[in-house]
Each structure stands twice: as C-alpha cells, then as structure tokens.
Amino acid sequence: MGRIIRFNPKRRRPARGRRVRPARFAKRRTSWRGAWVSVRPAILLIVLASMAYIFALPGVMPAPAFLSSEPQVIEGRFTRCGPGRGYYCVVDGDTFKLGDTSVRVVGVDTAERDAECPAEAVQAEASTRALQGWLNRGPFRMTARLDEPTDRYGRALRSVVRLRPDGSEDRLADYMQREGGARGYWGGFRDGWC
C-alpha cells in the first residue's frame, strides 16, 4: 500500500516539506493585473470628481449639449441703462438687460459702477464701454445651463458667443478678459479693484 503517517497532536514541528501556513500568513502574489484591479475604482472616482468639478465651473468650458439650452439669437442696438434707455441696454461690464431680464455674462467679473475708489470707477467705465461695443457689433447667441439658469441676485446666467465668418467662436468672456479689463470668475470670493 503506501506509507502510513501517524498523527500525534503533541508534535510541534510538521514533517519535512509538509509545512502549511495558516491563510492569514500566506504570501500573496501581486501582479500588475491585481494592482490595476485594486486601483481602478480610485482612478475612476478621481476622474468623475474632476469632470463634475470642471462642468460645474461656468467659465472654464461650455456646458455639454445635454446641459445647455437652445441658443437664443439676439440682434439689436445696445445703449447704457438709465432714463429713456432702449429695450437693450448695458448695466456694467458683465451685465446687460434685454427688456426686463438682466443677463450676467458667465465666466467674468468686472469692476462695479458704484466704485469704492477712482481706479475702480475708471476700470468700470472701460469695461462697460467694451461690453457695449462687443454687443453692438452684430447678432450673437446666448445659451444657459439648464442646471443653473440664474444667480443669487435673480440675473439670468448666460454664455454669450458670436460666430466669426470663418466659423470659429468669439466668446464674450474671452474678449472681456482680453480687451475689457475683466477677470476670470467662477464663483466664490472676488478680489477688490482698488
């Protein structure tokens, strides 16, 4: 038959070559596939959180099509808001009115007209003039994010774009940062202008 191995519970050392470690002390073999499988959920979570953050910032990139309203084409002559103003008017460097609707340009912050110092007043006038000039150049399109259509003051938040003859987009937020003295703004704390 075969060799008979006698069991002795008092024996402390296992037979030669027959040592078996308990499962909790067993060596685990790590492979690239095993490492990838264990890290994959963390990477996916980081990517999803980053995308959610980027899409939540209104001025960083345009909202995806499923989060945007249909473009509204606006064409008209913009004046300064005040007594005797027209239907279309400019309030300050980042806000204009279409009748009774106040529209806040997404992605920029400009100096306010009720300035705290002379430097802010000069900057507010320059940015208001730049906004009025851009709006009066011809028809443009406005789109809203469906998940965030207004700000805390009740102004309609809109991305404003004009198509160039070559088919590229002229974004108002980019123009205001380049020519109108505006700063990029994606919500939260704003620095002063003085």
Residues 51 and 121 in one domain: no
Which of 126, 127, 85 has the alpha carbon at shortest distance from 102?
A: 85
Identify which has the larger pLDDT, 65 or 88: 88
Is 193 within the bounds of a domain? Answer: no
Is 194 within the bounds of a domain? Answer: no
Three-state DSSP at 39 gives helix
The pLDDT of residue 141 is 92
End-to-end CA distance of the chain: 100
Quick check: 70 pLDDT over 60? yes
Report, in angstroms and rounded to the nearest whole number, the Rg of the chain calculated over CA atoms: 32
Residues 99 and 45 in one domain: no
Quick check: 81 pLDDT over 70? yes
Residues 45 and 138 in one domain: no
Averaged pLDDT for residues 86-104: 88
Which of 172, 188, 24, 3 has the alpha carbon at shortest distance from 103?
A: 172
* Entry field: residues in the chain: 194
Range of the domain at 31: 23-56
> Which tokens belong to 123?
């900057």
Is 105 within the bounds of a domain? Answer: yes
Quick check: 58 pLDDT over 70? no
User: In this structure, which amino acid lies at residue 46?
Assistant: I
CB within 8 Å of 78: residues ≥ 6 apart: 86, 88, 89, 90, 96, 132, 135, 136
The tally of domains found in the chain comes to: 2
Is 119 within the bounds of a domain? Answer: yes
Is 72 within the bounds of a domain? Answer: yes
Residue 49's pLDDT band (cuts 50, 70, 90):
confident
Q: Convert the pLDDT of each residue in 117-165 to its tens digit.
A: 888 888 888 898 998 899 999 999 998 877 777 888 888 888 889 988 8
Residues 43 and 117 in one domain: no
Pairing of strands 156-163, 140-143: antiparallel
**What whole-number distance in Å separates Cα of residue 193 and Cα of residue 171?**
24
**What whole-number distance in Å separates Cα of residue 152 and Cα of residue 117?**
25
Last residue of a domain, one of 9, 38, 56: 56
Which of 19, 164, 181 has the alpha carbon at shortest distance from 109?
A: 181
Residues 40 and 100 in one domain: no
